[in-house]
Amino acid sequence: SNVTNMYSMFYQSNSIKIVDLSTLNISKSANMDWMMNNSNELELVVLPNISVSDLSMKGAFSSCYSLKSINIPNISASELNMEGLFDGCINLESVDLSIIKANKLKASSMFSNCLFLKQIDLSKMQVDKIKVDSMFNECKNLENIIFWNSINLLSEENEVHINSTTMEKMFYNCY
Protein backbone atom coordinates (compact mmCIF):
# COMPACT_ATOMS: atom_id res chain seq x y z
CA SER A 1 0.00 0.00 0.00
CA ASN A 2 1.04 3.60 -0.52
CA VAL A 3 1.89 5.47 2.67
CA THR A 4 1.37 9.25 2.69
CA ASN A 5 1.19 10.33 6.35
CA MET A 6 3.72 9.26 8.99
CA TYR A 7 3.44 12.42 11.09
CA SER A 8 4.72 11.66 14.63
CA MET A 9 4.40 7.92 13.94
CA PHE A 10 7.03 6.90 16.52
CA TYR A 11 7.06 10.14 18.54
CA GLN A 12 8.65 9.58 21.98
CA SER A 13 8.85 5.81 21.43
CA ASN A 14 11.59 5.38 23.98
CA SER A 15 11.80 1.58 23.86
CA ILE A 16 12.30 1.25 20.08
CA LYS A 17 15.92 0.77 18.99
CA ILE A 18 15.55 -0.25 15.32
CA VAL A 19 12.99 0.89 12.74
CA ASP A 20 13.00 -0.70 9.27
CA LEU A 21 10.73 1.12 6.82
CA SER A 22 12.48 -0.19 3.69
CA THR A 23 9.42 -2.08 2.42
CA LEU A 24 7.10 0.94 2.48
CA ASN A 25 5.88 2.34 -0.82
CA ILE A 26 6.23 6.11 -0.67
CA SER A 27 5.40 7.28 -4.16
CA LYS A 28 2.97 10.14 -3.55
CA SER A 29 3.31 13.31 -1.52
CA ALA A 30 4.31 12.37 2.00
CA ASN A 31 4.45 13.90 5.46
CA MET A 32 7.17 12.46 7.71
CA ASP A 33 7.30 15.48 10.04
CA TRP A 34 8.39 14.61 13.60
CA MET A 35 8.18 10.90 12.65
CA MET A 36 10.65 9.70 15.29
CA ASN A 37 11.13 12.88 17.27
CA ASN A 38 12.34 12.30 20.85
CA SER A 39 12.76 8.54 20.39
CA ASN A 40 15.67 8.51 22.80
CA GLU A 41 16.77 4.86 22.38
CA LEU A 42 16.59 4.83 18.57
CA GLU A 43 19.90 3.55 17.15
CA LEU A 44 19.14 2.45 13.57
CA VAL A 45 16.66 3.55 10.90
CA VAL A 46 16.33 1.98 7.46
CA LEU A 47 14.40 4.05 4.92
CA PRO A 48 13.25 3.19 1.39
CA ASN A 49 14.16 5.13 -1.74
CA ILE A 50 11.62 7.92 -2.09
CA SER A 51 10.40 9.63 -5.25
CA VAL A 52 7.47 12.01 -4.70
CA SER A 53 6.27 15.44 -5.73
CA ASP A 54 6.39 16.88 -2.19
CA LEU A 55 8.06 15.45 0.89
CA SER A 56 8.27 16.97 4.34
CA MET A 57 10.67 15.44 6.87
CA LYS A 58 10.73 18.41 9.25
CA GLY A 59 12.23 17.30 12.58
CA ALA A 60 11.75 13.64 11.63
CA PHE A 61 14.75 12.46 13.67
CA SER A 62 15.19 15.45 15.97
CA SER A 63 16.29 14.76 19.54
CA CYS A 64 17.00 11.08 18.88
CA TYR A 65 19.86 11.07 21.36
CA SER A 66 21.10 7.50 20.76
CA LEU A 67 21.21 7.78 16.96
CA LYS A 68 24.90 7.61 15.94
CA SER A 69 24.67 7.11 12.19
CA ILE A 70 22.03 7.05 9.50
CA ASN A 71 21.85 6.30 5.80
CA ILE A 72 19.43 8.52 3.88
CA PRO A 73 18.58 6.70 0.62
CA ASN A 74 17.89 8.27 -2.75
CA ILE A 75 15.26 10.97 -2.37
CA SER A 76 13.68 12.80 -5.27
CA ALA A 77 11.05 15.49 -4.73
CA SER A 78 10.01 18.75 -6.30
CA GLU A 79 9.75 20.37 -2.89
CA LEU A 80 11.62 18.84 0.02
CA ASN A 81 11.53 20.07 3.60
CA MET A 82 14.36 18.76 5.81
CA GLU A 83 14.33 21.62 8.34
CA GLY A 84 15.56 20.43 11.73
CA LEU A 85 15.82 16.86 10.41
CA PHE A 86 18.58 15.88 12.87
CA ASP A 87 18.36 18.84 15.25
CA GLY A 88 19.45 17.78 18.72
CA CYS A 89 20.84 14.37 17.70
CA ILE A 90 23.73 15.03 20.03
CA ASN A 91 25.49 11.68 19.44
CA LEU A 92 25.11 11.62 15.64
CA GLU A 93 28.58 10.99 14.19
CA SER A 94 27.92 10.18 10.54
CA VAL A 95 25.23 10.72 7.94
CA ASP A 96 25.34 8.97 4.58
CA LEU A 97 23.37 11.07 2.14
CA SER A 98 22.81 9.24 -1.10
CA ILE A 99 21.49 11.22 -4.03
CA ILE A 100 19.04 13.94 -3.02
CA LYS A 101 17.28 15.63 -5.92
CA ALA A 102 14.95 18.57 -5.35
CA ASN A 103 13.85 21.73 -7.09
CA LYS A 104 13.48 23.44 -3.72
CA LEU A 105 15.06 22.20 -0.47
CA LYS A 106 14.55 23.71 2.95
CA ALA A 107 17.54 22.63 5.07
CA SER A 108 17.51 25.20 7.88
CA SER A 109 18.80 23.76 11.17
CA MET A 110 19.12 20.35 9.47
CA PHE A 111 22.16 19.38 11.57
CA SER A 112 21.84 21.89 14.43
CA ASN A 113 23.12 20.65 17.77
CA CYS A 114 24.72 17.52 16.34
CA LEU A 115 27.60 17.86 18.76
CA PHE A 116 29.64 14.86 17.58
CA LEU A 117 29.16 15.20 13.81
CA LYS A 118 32.71 15.43 12.42
CA GLN A 119 32.24 15.34 8.67
CA ILE A 120 29.53 15.32 6.04
CA ASP A 121 29.50 14.90 2.29
CA LEU A 122 26.80 16.97 0.57
CA SER A 123 28.33 16.64 -2.90
CA LYS A 124 25.65 14.26 -4.23
CA MET A 125 22.88 16.79 -3.62
CA GLN A 126 21.25 17.91 -6.86
CA VAL A 127 19.27 20.91 -5.71
CA ASP A 128 18.12 23.95 -7.66
CA LYS A 129 17.25 26.19 -4.69
CA ILE A 130 18.12 25.70 -1.03
CA LYS A 131 17.59 27.43 2.31
CA VAL A 132 20.51 26.80 4.68
CA ASP A 133 20.28 29.20 7.65
CA SER A 134 21.52 27.65 10.92
CA MET A 135 22.18 24.40 9.04
CA PHE A 136 25.20 23.45 11.20
CA ASN A 137 24.44 25.57 14.28
CA GLU A 138 26.29 24.27 17.40
CA CYS A 139 28.11 21.49 15.49
CA LYS A 140 31.16 21.95 17.68
CA ASN A 141 33.20 18.99 16.36
CA LEU A 142 32.54 19.52 12.65
CA GLU A 143 35.86 19.30 10.81
CA ASN A 144 35.05 18.60 7.16
CA ILE A 145 32.17 19.44 4.82
CA ILE A 146 32.10 18.60 1.12
CA PHE A 147 29.59 20.94 -0.50
CA TRP A 148 27.45 20.64 -3.62
CA ASN A 149 28.62 22.09 -6.92
CA SER A 150 26.11 24.81 -7.70
CA ILE A 151 22.80 25.94 -6.25
CA ASN A 152 20.74 29.03 -5.68
CA LEU A 153 20.14 30.09 -2.10
CA LEU A 154 16.65 30.98 -0.86
CA SER A 155 15.82 33.85 1.42
CA GLU A 156 13.10 33.78 4.07
CA GLU A 157 10.64 34.92 1.40
CA ASN A 158 11.71 32.02 -0.90
CA GLU A 159 13.20 34.45 -3.39
CA VAL A 160 16.43 33.48 -5.09
CA HIS A 161 19.32 35.50 -3.68
CA ILE A 162 23.00 34.89 -3.36
CA ASN A 163 24.18 36.99 -0.45
CA SER A 164 25.21 36.62 3.16
CA THR A 165 21.69 36.77 4.59
CA THR A 166 20.73 33.45 3.00
CA MET A 167 23.48 31.74 5.01
CA GLU A 168 22.60 33.43 8.28
CA LYS A 169 24.07 31.60 11.26
CA MET A 170 24.87 28.60 9.03
CA PHE A 171 27.91 27.76 11.20
CA TYR A 172 26.92 29.60 14.38
CA ASN A 173 28.83 28.40 17.45
CA CYS A 174 30.96 25.91 15.53
CA TYR A 175 34.25 26.26 17.29
- What are the tens digits of pLDDT across the range 90-127? 999 988 888 889 988 999 999 999 999 998 888 888 88
Average model confidence (pLDDT) for the chain? 84
Confidence grade of residue 157 (pLDDT, cut at 50, 70, 90): low
Distance between CA atoms of residues 137 and 64, nearest Å: 17
| Count of beta carbons in the 10 Å neighbourhood of residue 16 | 14
Confidence grade of residue 172 (pLDDT, cut at 50, 70, 90): low
What pLDDT is recorded for position 150? 55
pLDDT above 70 for 67: yes
- Beta-bridge partner residues of 53: none
pLDDT above 90 for 76: yes
What pLDDT is recorded for position 156? 55
Confidence grade of residue 160 (pLDDT, cut at 50, 70, 90): very low
What pLDDT is recorded for position 164? 34
What pLDDT is recorded for position 61? 95
pLDDT above 80 for 151: no
The DSSP output letter for 164 is: G
The residue that leads in pLDDT, 29 or 15, is 15
pLDDT above 60 for 36: yes
Paired sense of beta strands 119-121 and 144-146, if any: parallel
Contact 160, 152 (CB under 8 A): yes
Whole-prediction pTM: 0.86
